[in-house]
Structure 1
Amino acid sequence: MGEGVKAMLARPIQLADEVAKQCGAARCFRAECNDLKSRADKLAALLRQAARADLYDRPAARIMVGATQALAKASALASRCAHGHPRLRRLFTLSPAAGFPRTAALLDTALEDVAWLLRISSPAVGADGDGDLRGLPNIAQNEPILFLIWDHVARLHTGGLAARADSAANLASLARDSQHFAKLIIEEDGIPPLLRLLKEGTDEGQEAAVRALGLLGCDAESVEKLAQAGICSAFTSTLKEPQMRVQAAVAEAIATLADRSPTCQELFTQNNAVRYLVGHLASGTIQEHSRYSVGSSSSKNTAAAPTPMTSLHSVVLAKTLSTHQSGDFMISVPEEPHRVSTVSKDEVDAKRNQMQSVVQSAMAAKTKKNGSLIPPFRTQLGTSGSSGRGAREVEDPELKAHLKAMAAKALWKLARGHLGVCKSITESRALLCFAALLEKGDGGMGTNIQVFSAMAIMEISRVAEHSLALRQSAFKPSSPAAKAVVDQLLHIVCKGDYDELLIPCITALGCLARTFTASETRMIAPLVQLLDEREPAVIKEAVLALTKFACTDNHLYVNHCKAVVDEGGAGHLVQLVYLGDEVQIEALILLCYIALHVPESEELAQAGVLAVLLWASKQTYMVQDVRVEALLPEARARLELFQSRASR
């Protein structure tokens, strides 16, 4: 109970004593005053009991206001009966008889509300807690939902683990039903007990708490309040726990919160949530994922055994790696095979002997300290924040697929427009994971893992489009992960199936246009093919992607413009400028870039590009576009210069 509630209790207790004293000294309406005195004494006893209890602040504030008002009216009524001659007061003042029933009813209401407050603020009896709603307070008659919220929040404070899990599930249901209910739960201090349940509850309770907290973030303002309460650090800590059901719920909640607040993106990044999400994504997706850390500039200089390690081996490996980094010796990484040839056989033997020595000393120290070695069946957490391989292998495949999908979704939402998150993701093995998941999917589990992976790649590509450093580090041509990602994007675009994967893959290819070398021209042809009688959304995205290849910002714009023309893109663009309602201006901009950069092309003359540019210059709605106004006159002049009048 806070100091504010104690201060609120002082006034009604004082009034209750005053009413009892005045009623005892009444000189008229003594029967009615005795009745008021009895109620005032009961209320004073309950208020003093409340002063010794740990009250739920939010309903307590409203109840104390109501009790104070009722006692104030009773005091005013009792004072009229306690002063003056009875007959004279009856003769010269209004009779208070009509006020007694109303005042008694107000005191009864206050008694019931204070009794209800004490019930919900008291620890529940029994190990499982109180599973039933504990009465409807009078102050909540006009808004029963408020009573439900109060009751469930109170059970989160005082109930047993089962009752707390049930209340968290009910609060999640209320938050899901209405944004107004979600805000009410936040206003009624529902966040702290949910966070405590997340740390202390059973698996079911933790999962219910996570879902409730995720649903409470219904808008940016609500997410800000959740972040201030410490939800980001709590969720990140939960990602390290071994229960996959809870981890999947946390990943889904992170995706929801990050989608609604850039501040939340930053806080999750600071709490290193990306590392654990990548660990869950990589588990079972690619081999040896645990040896790669996120956000470490020295990741290329670290190594681990190619097989999964037990807990003791992890300790040994960590000690060995620290020795490596201190300068004693260096182990080459499999990604850089040219370094292996520089290590002689004697050096390899020396390293092996040193590893054996470290293993023996670590085992001896562990035995000396505890008297026995760690049992081989004991589950240990890996460096990725997930449980050991043995624990994961016994989990339901659908649950593992769901966790992986939610991790991909969370990474997608965290990466949106955030350079720091994108750098952390690309410095890990996440890009290779996304490529693998795009290729093989989830084995028919129905988790949308391919869609989430494609969306994550798209968001990272969008950030890389405007960050030279990210393009050079993550999407350099020699990077195996970048090659794998581009191969999968091209595969999907070449298939051309209109589904949830196609448009994000087209967008990603366009955003990566400045990362390709002059010899890498295979992405132009499938994009040009998408211009021919396809869905409007697909055509528009393909035009935008090709524009990023052909624009002046791309240093290979001449090569790319020639490739577009060679693939027959000019004819498609002419048709789109004439007939493509939703994509006319975008197609005209691309056509202008091509006319600027390869005006001497005979294919442009055969397609009638000059004629379409002349026609477009007379269309008011087209030339009003700032981009068209800057490009069209110069493109038209270049074509008129390089093409003969006969070809026109």
Structure 2
Amino acid sequence: MAPAAEEEKSIQEVLSLPILLADRVIKSAHEAESFKPENSDLARQVTHLSQLLRSAARLTTASTAVYDRPIRRLSVDLTKTLDRALNLARKCRHKKTHVLHHVLSITTSADFKKVSTLIDSSLADIKWVLSILSPDSENATINLSLPPFATTDPILAWVWPYIAAVHMGRAEAAHELAILARDNDRNKKIIVEENGVPPLLKLLKESSNLDAQKAAAAALYNLADDPCRVRVIAKALGVQIIAKALSEAPMKVQVNLVDLISRMSEMDAGLREEFGRENVTRPLVSILGMDVDLEEFKETNARKSVNSLDSLVQINNELTKKGVRRFGSGVSSRKEKEREAESPGVKLRLKISCAMALWKLARGSLSNSRKITETKALLVLAKIIEKERGELQISSLMVVMELAEVAESNADYKRACFKPHSPAAKAVLDQLLRVINEETDAPLVIPAIKAIGCLATMFPAKEKRIVERLVAQLGNTNRDVASESAKALGKFVCKENYNRVEHSKAIVEYNGVAKLMNLIKRDNRGESRLDEVVLLCNLAVNVGNSKELEEGRALSVVEGAARNAVAQNPDLREVFAKAIHKLTIYQAGGNNHGHV
């Protein structure tokens, strides 16, 4: 790797030193008084090398786009070789006396052979580098021969030609870099160190070749599996270039771009916000909803619904002007016609990728979540959850879950986006409840339950169907589903929930205590029972006089769990103390060993 100081110099400055040294070697070799044959050969070799170095200087001066990394790298060792040759030639400017002449001759002859071998290697290296950088190589077969330097680092002999060819806009080179970046971590590290990211981004930005764009996006995706490499991509204006390309690229390229956005967002939380500032959420939602007919959501007697859809029409119009597909609209532009002609498989793959990207972008980000829901994404997600199956349905549920988790920690956002009477929120809520009630696969049911739990404070006391569905899942044979239901119900009955007493009564009404006690007994691992026991505590605090709690011996369970639970989480001390106090008042049979 070239020293940092060398990287700061212009390529002309880098080449000036070896060119100057070469001239000095030639001059000193011509002036030699001893070992004249050897010095003559040295001068001939270095003259050839000097010519190649000047060719490299002319090449890099003619175009600032030339990939100069190989020249910078090789110039370091080349300068050392020429410096060694200069010292050797200077030793020969005076004739040797007979004293020690024999010993010095042997030493110097050996040195000439070593220097000659090094210069031959440098000649071969420079010839090879010029062959991959020359404009004549733009349409030629990429040079994958192994020059002398490859004996110490052969991977460079693969990476450099491909990066140089990517600079020239060649799709096959980007494809090969994608394969190299897929293979192992060292390849990825070298590609980044050798400045392979900027030309890939340039290819993505400027090429009109679909294969070239697709290969560049695939290569960047393979590189973006490490936070440090992701930051290199971002530093090279990758976020802006990727976001712009997303709105303009064909669908086959968009799949790779959306996957790249997902991976970068997952690797670096700061990049989620950067992508959000570039408004990638709008095209992502638009693509996700390309086949969704939102007219089904219209309610003629509800002005709010009409206004929401009018707003959506306005957003669609804006996106269409930018070349992005509108939700459920007619096709007129060239890009929309291309998408209509695309295969169902590519469309489905792209939709899945968009849902996954929105899921990653929404995670923990209030600003991105707001941008997503401002596009009326909830309506699109509700329709997909209703109609689709498999990975697309699961990913869409994960988006809703992330949005709900953000809403849980921000009351203003929760009120704005998840008002129970708004068409979007109602559509999503209906689908979440349907999934909880009808589906059996844990990857579907769990995110739906989590989302409902995050929105617990939004539901009025009369909305008993939600509690009923969650209580039913307490008896689910899947331990994770049952535990998630307990955790969600805990948010309905905690002290932060205004309707906690009414929700607690509903849980008791739907036989929730018996199911909860069975769930606690099913698993004796203390930590995994914490959510269930905390739910039991809150029920005791809110409806401690319930006969169901007495029949289930709730006091004994709470007392038995109190010590370990409070030791794990001191914040639970208050709720356990209140629960024991309430249950002691209304029940008999406490053991008095679990006081906290």
TM-score (norm 1): 0.81
- 1:49-448 aligned within 5 A: 49-54=55-60, 55-85=66-96, 87-88=98-99, 90=101, 93=104, 95-125=107-137, 129-158=139-168, 161=169, 164-201=170-207, 202-241=209-248, 243-287=250-294, 388-441=335-388, 448=391
Q: CA deviation at 1:390?
A: 3.1
Q: CA deviation at 1:381?
A: 5.4
Measure the CA separation in 2 of the matches of 1:99 and 1:182: 39
Contiguous gaps of at least 5 residues in structure 1: 290-298, 316-378
Is the counterpart of residue 498 in structure 1 residue 441 in structure 2?
A: yes
Measure the CA separation in 1 of the matches of 2:448 and 2:324: 35
Q: 1:591 aligns with which of 529, 532, 536?
A: 536
Q: Secondary structure of 1:583's partner? A: helix
CA contact (8 A) 1:578 1:584 kept: no
Report the CA distance shift for 1:309/1:57 in structure 2 as closer, same or farther (over 3 A): closer
Q: Secondary structure of 2:247's partner? A: coil
Measure the CA separation in 2 of the matches of 1:627 and 1:387: 60
Q: 1:564 aligns with which of 472, 487, 507?
A: 507
Q: CA deviation at 1:125?
A: 4.3
Q: 1:631 aligns with which of 548, 566, 575?
A: 575
CA contact (8 A) 2:287 2:325 kept: no
CA contact (8 A) 1:19 1:74 kept: yes
The C-alpha deviation readout for 1:547-576, integer Å capped at 9, x for no partner, is 111111111111111111122221232234
Report the CA distance shift for 1:305/1:168 in structure 2 as closer, same or farther (over 3 A): closer
Stretch deviating more after TM superposition (4-13 or 542-551): 4-13
Report the CA distance shift for 1:388/1:103 in structure 2 as closer, same or farther (over 3 A): closer
Q: CA deviation at 1:230?
A: 1.1
Residue 301 (structure 2) aligns with:
none
Q: CA deviation at 1:437?
A: 0.7
Residue 642 (structure 1) aligns with:
586
CA contact (8 A) 1:39 1:107 kept: yes
Q: Give me the CA root mean square deviation.
A: 2.9
Q: CA deviation at 1:509?
A: 1.1
CA contact (8 A) 2:457 2:498 kept: yes
- 1:428-507 aligned within 5 A: 428-441=375-388, 448-507=391-450
Contiguous gaps of at least 5 residues in structure 2: 1-6, 61-65, 297-306
Measure the CA separation in 1 of the matches of 2:39 and 2:429: 87
Q: CA deviation at 1:149?
A: 1.3
Q: CA deviation at 1:261?
A: 0.8
CA contact (8 A) 1:28 1:86 kept: no
The C-alpha deviation readout for 1:129-187, integer Å capped at 9, x for no partner, is 233334223223222222211111011113xx5xx211111111222222332222111
Q: CA deviation at 1:220?
A: 1.8
Measure the CA separation in 2 of the matches of 1:645 and 1:309: 69
Residue 518 (structure 1) aligns with:
461
The C-alpha deviation readout for 1:602-637, integer Å capped at 9, x for no partner, is 1111111112223334x5466543244332122111
Q: Secondary structure of 1:144's partner? A: coil
Measure the CA separation in 2 of the matches of 1:137 and 1:611: 79
CA contact (8 A) 2:312 2:376 kept: no
Measure the CA separation in 1 of the matches of 2:283 and 2:201: 20
Q: CA deviation at 1:642?
A: 2.8
CA contact (8 A) 1:577 1:585 kept: no
Measure the CA separation in 2 of the matches of 1:218 and 1:631: 43
The C-alpha deviation readout for 1:65-88, integer Å capped at 9, x for no partner, is 111111111111111122244545
CA contact (8 A) 2:566 2:572 kept: yes
Q: CA deviation at 1:639?
A: 1.2
Stretch deviating more after TM superposition (70-79 or 450-459): 70-79
The C-alpha deviation readout for 1:211-232, integer Å capped at 9, x for no partner, is 1112221222221221111111
Report the CA distance shift for 1:533/1:503 in structure 2 as closer, same or farther (over 3 A): closer
Q: CA deviation at 1:195?
A: 1.3
The C-alpha deviation readout for 1:456-482, integer Å capped at 9, x for no partner, is 111001000011111111100111111
Measure the CA separation in 1 of the matches of 2:59 and 2:279: 40
Measure the CA separation in 2 of the matches of 1:231 and 1:144: 29
Report the CA distance shift for 1:382/1:284 in structure 2 as closer, same or farther (over 3 A): closer
CA contact (8 A) 2:131 2:143 kept: no
The C-alpha deviation readout for 1:455-514, integer Å capped at 9, x for no partner, is 111100100001111111110011111111111111111125134212111111111111
The C-alpha deviation readout for 1:373-408, integer Å capped at 9, x for no partner, is xxxxxx965578996543322221221222221111
CA contact (8 A) 1:224 1:263 kept: no
The C-alpha deviation readout for 1:299-351, integer Å capped at 9, x for no partner, is 85956989x9999xx88xxxxxxxxxxxxxxxxxxxxxxxxxxxxxxxxxxxx
Residue 300 (structure 2) aligns with:
none
Is the counterpart of residue 42 in structure 1 residue 51 in structure 2?
A: no
Q: CA deviation at 1:255?
A: 0.8
Q: CA deviation at 1:3?
A: 4.4
TM-score (norm 2): 0.88
CA contact (8 A) 1:58 1:188 kept: yes
Q: 2:556 aligns with which of 577, 600, 611?
A: 611
Measure the CA separation in 2 of the matches of 1:571 and 1:231: 56
Aligned residues: 563
Counterpart AA for 1:597: N
Counterpart AA for 1:592: C
Measure the CA separation in 2 of the matches of 1:534 and 1:197: 52
